[in-house]
Amino acid sequence: MTRSESAPLKVALLGCGVVGSQVARQLIEQAEDLRARIGRPLELVGIAVRRLEIERPGIDRALLTDDAFALASRPDVDLVIELLGGIEPARSLILAAIAAGSSVITANKALLAEDGATIYSAAEDAGVDLYYEAAVAGAIPIVRPLRESLVGDEVTAVVGIVNGTTNFILDQMHTEGTDFSTALVQAQQLGLAEADPTADVEGFDAASKAAILASLAFHTRVRLSDVDREGITGVTAADIAAAKERGCVIKLLARCSLSADGSIALGVHPTMVAKAHPLASIPGAYNAIFIESRNAGQLMFMGPGAGGSPTASAVLGDLVTAARNRVRGGLGPGESHYSERGITPAGEISSRYYVSMTVHDEPGVLAAVATSFAEHGVSLQAVRQESQGAEARLGVTTHLAKHHQVIEAIAELDRMPEVHAGISLMRVEGA
């Protein structure tokens, strides 16, 4: 064996938070197996941190540096793992690493959904790898299946629960009656939430993941700003109760599919999911993703979508893959965006809806409500009414309708004297 065949591949780690610290530990603990699987040892040569003084059990202090740029730019490094999160300085550090000839592994969905094209093309020009399995649904293999395993098929839809924090919160609200804020603190304590939990609860994190999934599934550049997004901060105890009454649970669903005109319909919304639907039973911080494709049919992926150790598993998988490419020669897949599909305008996206409102309980009201939907081309699938004295709570489930049609019908209902305030709207899946 020549020296170059046995010399270690050098690894630099940027960030030592929830995920980075687990990656560092697993790199050290699994060193022998990783060496056998790659064919050469990995040597962790540095970890960029913000504060050097913090105690980090199991991590050699000598590896720590607060100069992330110097570490990322080292020409002797082979593989750089970016686990800082956020747009800057993560983007500049990744570009510096690529310019220095390193392959990059990242979990940074925010950056990829904002400016993946810049990073992809820099990697392409430099002839290095870019891997990001941990950026979508943590430990679940979903990026590689879309990028490689299903690349010979024609994906038509990707629907899933892709944010662990919000699934945990909604699950606690449903099963324990926990209020939103208490459940959020619990999610933060479990290391599930992003540094700023707004990204989770307002749906930005799920929308970034939806953009990445849609880019891969439909071979088109899709960005966060293309995704019609709504978080879970508006989900009330009354919504949870209404869902239960209808035999549903509320989940934050990311939906990417092809519209009839070939454009991509993309949305992240709290959705009433029928209990019989497989996505309804996904508990806690778990994620699950359904894929529909022309030849394979339906596939489902389920597993831990967040947390230090599970996410580190996906990072290490990418690290081994990129390291193998270095050892054996060759590169993983680059960006595929030849399809250049358009994005369906939010108002044109079709869904089924549950609309509830309080009305006067008197003759003709139900007919007037039904007429308003009909006039806007919205067909009703089911109507429930519960009398509450002189008023009634009316719950209407629609057939597939375009968003703008439902919004226009609701605007008209809002103007009707028979309908009191309190019209609420939620998308429906499978019920």
Ligand X SMILES: N[C@@H](CCO)C(=O)O
Ligand Y SMILES: NC(=O)c1ccc[n+]([C@@H]2O[C@H](COP(=O)([O-])OP(=O)(O)OC[C@H]3O[C@@H](n4cnc5c(N)ncnc54)[C@H](O)[C@@H]3O)[C@@H](O)[C@H]2O)c1
Residues of each annotated binding site for NADP(+) = 14-21
Ranges within 185-214 binding ligand X (CB under 6 A) = 192-194, 200, 205
Per-residue string for binding with ligand X, 138-157, x by CB under 6 A? x-------------------
> Under a CB-based contact definition with an 8 Å cutoff, are residues 428 and 397 in contact?
yes
Would you say 158 or 359 has its CB closer to ligand Y? 158
- Compute how many residues bind Na ion; rule: CB under 5 A: 6
Both tokens of 359, joined, read 């009305």
Which residues lie near ligand Y (CB under 6 A)?
Answer: 15-20, 48-50, 68, 83-85, 89, 107-109, 134, 138, 191-192, 194-195, 306-307, 311
How far apart (Å, rounded) are the C-alpha atoms in residues 235 and 84? 30
Question: What, of Na ion, ligand X, ligand Y, none, does residue 235 touch, CB below 5 to 8 Å by kind?
Answer: none
Would you say 149 or 175 has its CB closer to Na ion? 149
How far apart (Å, rounded) are the C-alpha atoms in residues 76 and 408? 61
Sign, CA torsion 202/206/209/211: negative
332 binds ligand X (CB under 6 A): no
The correct pick among 165, 293, 321, 351 for binding ligand X (CB under 6 A) is 165
**Among 278, 247, 259, 286, which Cα is nearest to 351's?**
259
DSSP state letters, 11-33 = EEEE--SHHHHHHHHHHHHTHHH
Ranges within 272-331 binding ligand X (CB under 6 A) = 305-306
How far apart (Å, rounded) are the C-alpha atoms in residues 72 and 59? 19
Would you say 144 or 251 has its CB closer to Na ion? 144
Question: What, of ligand X, Na ion, ligand Y, none, does residue 18 touch, CB below 5 to 8 Å by kind?
Answer: ligand Y
127 by DSSP, 3-state: which? coil
Binding residues for NADPH, as ranges, are 109
Residue that is written with structure tokens 């039904």 in the block:
370
Per-residue string for binding with Na ion, 307-346, x by CB under 5 A? -------x--------------------------------
Taking 3-state DSSP, the helix, strand and coil percentages for the chain, each rounded to the nearest 5, stand at 40, 25, 35
Query: Active site includes 209?
Result: yes
Both tokens of 404, joined, read 């703008």
How far apart (Å, rounded) are the C-alpha atoms in residues 10 and 350? 50
Binding residues, as ranges, are 14-21, 109, 194
Question: What, of ligand Y, Na ion, ligand X, none, does residue 98 touch, CB below 5 to 8 Å by kind?
Answer: none
Would you say 77 or 222 has its CB closer to Na ion? 222
Would you say 160 or 191 has its CB closer to ligand Y? 191
133 binds Na ion (CB under 5 A): yes
160: left (phi over 0), alpha (psi -120 to 50) or beta: beta
- Going across the sheet that includes 79-82, the strands are 64-65, 42-48, 9-14, 79-82, 103-106, 130-131
21 binds ligand X (CB under 6 A): no
For the annotated catalytic residues, the residue numbers are: 209
The contact set with Na ion (CB under 5 A) reads: 133, 136-137, 140, 142, 314
Instruction: Report the interface residues with ligand X, using CB under 6 A.
Output: 138, 163-165, 192-194, 200, 205, 305-306
